[in-house]
Structure formats: structure tokens, C-alpha cells
Structure 1
Amino acid sequence: MSETVDWGPIRELARRVLTEGERLALTRNEKALLKRTAAEVGISASEAKSALATEEGALGLLQEESRRIREGTRRLMDALHRMYQHKDEGDFVSARQEMRDVLAVEVVPHYRAIAQGQLEAMADEPQQGERIPGASPRAVFARRIPLRLRGR
């Protein structure tokens, strides 16, 4: 999934329903939101359709969507942090492994795409236990992503 996702509306619905106890109304808009989000978090259309047939199923679907977004966000952010630490130390094998570990368990297509992109971005870096001798955080950081100024 290459497009940007907007999970603000589903997070807001989850907050209202799962945290504040508001009833899930299952309006046309709420059903459309739950169905769209299901696809965005790796839940099949048939599973979503089945869940949306009942209020209890829809509530379960909302809980699962919210869980996948929350846990996937945490998993990816933690792995990215560790990946950059490894890269700063010149340990690209461990940095790659962080992204492979995410890909081994992550089901949300958006998060998988980010992890895969990070892994691909390290393709030209040292392989098989190689380290960049004397790598300093500043030297490695400067190699991360070239800065492109807008309008130039």
C-alpha cells in the first residue's frame, strides 16, 4: 500500500466507543470507515463483511483494527529506533535484521511497506557482518537520506 493512510477517524471512533463507552451506531459512514480500515490493516473483505453483519461483530472488528494500528505502530517505531542505533554503530546486519523481524510478524500493509522500504534502502550497505570501520554517528547519519530542498 503506497498511499498515505489516515487513521485519525478510526482512532477517534475507537476512543469514543472503546474508551468512553459510546455505543457503536453502525451508520453507513461508520460501516464504510470500518470496512475501509479493515483493508488497510490486513483484514480480508469477507471477514469485514461478516463482522459488520452484527453489532457485536462490528465492535470486535473495531477492537481488532485499533489493536493492529496501535501494536503495529509501536512495533515499527521501536524497530526503527533500534535499526538507526545499529546503523549509527556501523552494524548493518543487525539493522537489517530489525526490519526482517518486523516483516516476520507485521500484517498491516502500510507498516510492512515501510519496513520493506527501509530494508531495500540498506541494500548497498555492508553485508554479512561487515561493519563500517570507525563509523561515527555523524558520519553514518549523513549517509541516511540526502536532503532535498523544496523548489530547487
Structure 2
Amino acid sequence: MPDQRQWDGIRNLNRHVTDLGQPFALTEEIGALLRDTGKDVAIPPEAVERALQSDTSAAELLKEIATRIRVGSRRVTRAMSEADRRQEAGDMAGARKVLQDVLDVEVVPHYREVTQTYLDAPDDTD
């Protein structure tokens, strides 16, 4: 499970840089944050290290990490809501399909795990 404080740090830093237009400066602390969270969102370590060679590429890495966190969260949340609606309507196959569609495109391991758990839940008999 990812460290929520780190993901919050990414969201906050990205908001300051992207939305508020504040300058980005790659520090040791920010580099460590990008390394840790890059791993969390399935960005290969060698790609992270390449991005950490300049402020510009590190800022792009920050944006990509924040995007994967935001988009993945929305995708999973919507899919779970839609799966619940379909399940309540008795459409178990449709509910499973919605969740499987997320697994077909999602790269963030945490979101994949959450989706797979949700997908497996209707099969539980306990």
C-alpha cells in the first residue's frame, strides 16, 4: 500500500507547480519523493532516474505521477460505483466487466489491487 502522506505530497507539490504556477526546484527531498512515488505508480526506476537529471524533466515526472494517481483514483471509483449499480440491478456479468475493463488499462499497482479485490468480492460466499 502506498504511503498516503507521500501521495498527498505529490498532489500538493503538483498543485503548486501546475495550478498555481510556482517554480519547480529539484531538491534532494523532492527527488526522494519522486523516486518513492514513481515506484508506487509503476514508472520504471531507470525512467525516474533519467527524469531526475534536470528540473524540467523532474517537473514532467511530477506531473505524470500526479496524473496517474488522480486518473487511476477516478477510474477505480467510477468503476466501483457502476459495478455496484449493475450488481444491484442483478447484472453480475456487467458488474464484473466494468471492473475487468479497469484492470485492462490501469497500471498503478495499488489501484489494480483494489479493483481485483472488488472484482473478487461478489464471488465470496462468506
Range of TM-score over shorter length: over 0.9
Give me the whole-angstrom Cα distance separating, in 1, the residues matched to 2:94 and 2:49.
Answer: 41
Distance 2:45 2:3 in 1: 18
Aligned length: 124
Superposed, 1:2-151 pairs within 5 Å as 3-6=1-4, 7-124=7-124
Alpha-carbon shift at residue 66 of structure 1 (Å): 1.1
Q: CA deviation at 1:90?
A: 1.6
Aligned-pair CA distance for 1:16 = 0.7
Percentage of pairs with the same residue: 39
For 1:9, the aligned partner's letter is: G
Q: Residue 122 of structure 1: CA displacement?
A: 2.0
- Structure 1: distance between partners of 2:8 and 2:27: 18
Q: Secondary structure at the match of 1:122?
A: helix
Q: Which structure has the larger Rg over C-alpha atoms?
A: 1
Task: State whether residues 26 and 54 of structure 2, in contact with CA within 8 Å, keep that contact through their aligned partners in structure 1.
Answer: no
Distance, in Å, in 1 between the alignment partners of 2:21 and 2:97 is 41
Paired residue type of 2:3: V
> For the residues of structure 1 that align with 2:70 and 2:124, how far apart are their CA atoms?
32
- Higher helix content, 1 or 2: 2
Structure 2: segments with no counterpart, 5+ residues = none
| 1:108-145 deviation line (CA, Å, top 9, x unaligned) | 111000001111112248xxxxxxxxxxxxxxxxxxxx
**TM-score scaled by length of structure 1:** 0.77
Cα separation, 2, equivalents of 1:124 and 1:13: 40
1:5 shift after superposition? 3.4
In structure 2, what is the Cα distance between the partners aligned to 1:19 and 1:35? 22
- The one-character-per-residue Cα deviations of 1:61-114 (angstroms, maximum 9, x if unpaired) are 011111111111111111011000011112111111111000000011110000
Report runs of 4+ in structure 1 exceeding 4 Å deviation.
none
Q: Give the Cα–Cα distance (whole angstroms) in 2 for the partners of residues 69 and 4 of structure 1.
A: 11
